[in-house]
Amino acid sequence: DKQDYDVVVVGSGGAGFSAAIEAAEAGKKVVIIEKMPTVGGNTLISGGEMNAPGNWVQKKLGITGDSVESYYEDTMKGGDNLGDPKLVHLMAENALASAEWLRDEVKVEFLEDQLFQFGGHSYKRALIPVGHTGQEVITKLKKKAEAAGVKILVDTKADELLQDNSGKVTGVAATYKENQEVKFTAKDAVILTTGGFGSNVKMRKEYNPEYDERYMSTDTEGTTGDGIVMAENVGAALTNMESIQTYPIANPKTGVISLLADTRFDGAILVNQEGQRFVEELERRDVISEAILAQTGGYTYQLWNDDIDGISKTKAAHEDEYDELIKDKLLVKADTLEEAAEFFDIDPEALKATVEKVNEYAKTGDDKDFHHRGGLVSLEKGPYYIEKAIPSVHHTMGGLVINQETEVLDEAGKAIPGLYAAGELTGVIQGSNRLGGNAITDIITFGRIAGKTAGKL
């Protein structure tokens, strides 16, 4: 079986849809092939928050001072300055336009009066889609892609890239439903948007033995690095592959990310089995994860109260997760701190002493122990929520080397003709550590650039 297109997009996360829409709107005949039975990838199951400095919600909330430069610097610093400065700047400059595109063209609805300040960011700058997940983003992207005439094929796994005699990438060899071979020819471009390799333990270990089977992953099972391997097989350079990020607050039974625990961005604290705080709650993910693993048992408890939930509203947004955690005894709602402590066998006096200090620091605005950058929030009043959590592999920062046009480069820094890439499988944006809310900005921005580049061919 053979199917002919101008542009073949591999992978249907946020990057793939953005690329496909732009290419189709530029007049190209476009297909997205997706190996899983449903579209969306990790974009779908993520919180969906998106950093955009100078955004409309900041204006509404009276948050001033944020800028492209500040966002650029936070991102560079957050990744230990390993990101490519030009590309990080390109993302920072385009972040707001990408968010406006999602809002105005794709019709993604963002909350009008709430933002997140993820770890490592100097401002509250992350827009939150309704429902607090990527579901809203993917649902609307899919609708837009269909309206633009993009063909979407699920259960279709790309196996390898096809090349002509000159080395130009001319298409993709794929398998439909595990047994039917299909060739997709791409007259102009193949755009790889297959995401990272967080679910591929073998590949994780190959590049960083630390992240072996001891770690579960927050990622979908399709997150196996296929695009990275396919591109490497046609000579693409890889970079930064050892940089693998754990998400600090995940379900100890399943490894799934805890979105309920996004209360952390509004003042929830982290304590260990001894009832002590041990890290700044708005630190970078890698710092928090390492700190958690150094505690008794390698886990943490996150504690917050109803006042904080009133700001975050995560309980209403993530009811299913809430119920599941309660059922699995990984979360409890308690009227008093004693009750909360006893549920998890924490010394009640120690927890109370910790919380008293937090309350004092909340009043003075000065967290003398960990310098909480958002300012601590008083935990004087119950009811309380306390949740047990572990770090889980979440994002792979490394991958393909691309340039400002999203061309995939070889070891010599030369573009491989016909091959483009965007999203988590690229390795040059997030450095050694991706900050929260940066994936959506990255994938939408570079996905669109890839689609526009292909649109001009």
Catalytic residue IDs: 285
CA distance 171 to 184: 5
Beta strand ranges found along 136-236 (DSSP E): 151-153, 156-163, 169-176, 180-192
Tell me how many helices (H) and strands (E) the chain has.
15, 18
Contact 217, 198 (CB under 8 A): yes
d(CA 241, CA 245): 11
Q: Which of 38-46, 271-279, 339-347, 373-381 is the region at the interface with ligand ADP (rule: CB under 6 A)?
A: 38-46
How many residues appear in the chain?
Answer: 457
Out of 7, 11, 215, 217, the residue judged to bind ligand ADP by CB under 6 A: 11
| Residue pair 193/423 in contact by the 8 Å Cβ criterion | yes
Asked if 193 touches ligand ADP (CB under 6 A), the answer is: yes
Contacts of 173 (CB under 8 A, 6+ apart): 158, 159, 160, 161, 162, 181, 182, 183
Nearest residue (beta carbon) to ligand ADP: 13
25 secondary structure, DSSP code: H
Candidate segments 8-16, 104-112, 206-214, 379-387, binder of ligand ADP by CB under 6 A: 8-16
Question: Does the protein bind ligand ADP through residue 437 (CB under 6 A)?
Answer: no
In this complex, which beta carbon is closest to ligand ADP, that of residue 159 or of residue 206?
A: 159
157 touching ligand ADP, by CB under 6 A: yes
DSSP type of residue 262: G
Asked whether position 16 contacts ligand ADP by CB under 6 A, the answer is yes
Binding mask 39-58 for ligand ADP (x = CB under 6 A): -xxxx---------------
Would you count residue 35 as binding ligand ADP (CB under 6 A)?
yes
- Least spacing, CB of residue 235 vs ligand ADP, in Å: 18
State the Cα–Cα distance between residues 87 and 89, nearest whole angstrom.
5
Asked if 305 touches ligand ADP (CB under 6 A), the answer is no
Distance CA 350, CA 344 (A): 13
| Smallest separation, CB 200 to ligand ADP (Å) | 10
Compute the C-alpha angle 308/318/356, nearest 5°. 25
Alpha-carbon gap, residue 206 to 221, rounded angstroms: 18
> 376 vs 435, which CB is nearer to ligand ADP?
435
Residue 34 engages ligand ADP in binding (rule: CB under 6 A): yes
Kindly tell me which residue out of 55, 117, 133, 194 binds ligand ADP, with binding defined by CB under 6 A: 194
Torsion of CA 388, 392, 395, 397, to 10 degrees: 120
Segment lying near ligand ADP (by CB under 6 A), choices 33-41, 103-111, 245-253, 399-407? 33-41
Contact call for residue 171 and ligand ADP (CB under 6 A): no
Closer by beta carbon to ligand ADP, 157 or else 285: 157
Q: Is residue 217 close enough to count as binding ligand ADP by CB under 6 A?
A: no
* Residue 20 interacting with ligand ADP (CB under 6 A): no
- What residues numbered 62-121 form the site for ligand ADP, per CB under 6 A? none
Q: How far is the CB of 72 from ligand ADP (least distance, A)?
A: 21
- Residue in 424, 427, 438, 454 binding ligand ADP, rule: CB under 6 A: 424
Give yes or no for a cis peptide into 248 (omega within 30° of 0): no
226 belongs to the binding site for ligand ADP (CB under 6 A): yes
Residue 10 binds ligand ADP, judged by CB under 6 A: yes
Query: Exposure pattern of 315-329 as b/e (b: 16+ CB <10 Å)?
Result: bebbeebbebbeeee
Tell me the backbone φ, ψ of residue 184, rounded to 5 degrees.
-110, 115
* C-alpha dihedral, 66 to 72 to 78 to 81, nearest 10°: -150
267 counts as binding ligand ADP under rule CB under 6 A: no
Is residue 372 a contact residue for ligand ADP (CB under 6 A)? Answer: no
Phi and psi torsions of 21, nearest 5°: -65, -50
CB 453 within 8 A of CB 265: no
Least distance from ligand ADP to the Cβ atom of residue 457, Å: 21
Given the rule CB under 6 A, which of 28-36, 298-306, 356-364, 448-456 is the region that contacts ligand ADP? 28-36
Residue closer to ligand ADP by CB (options 40, 47) is 40
Residues that bind ligand ADP (CB under 6 A): 10-16, 33-36, 40-43, 157-158, 193-195, 222-223, 226, 423-424, 439, 443
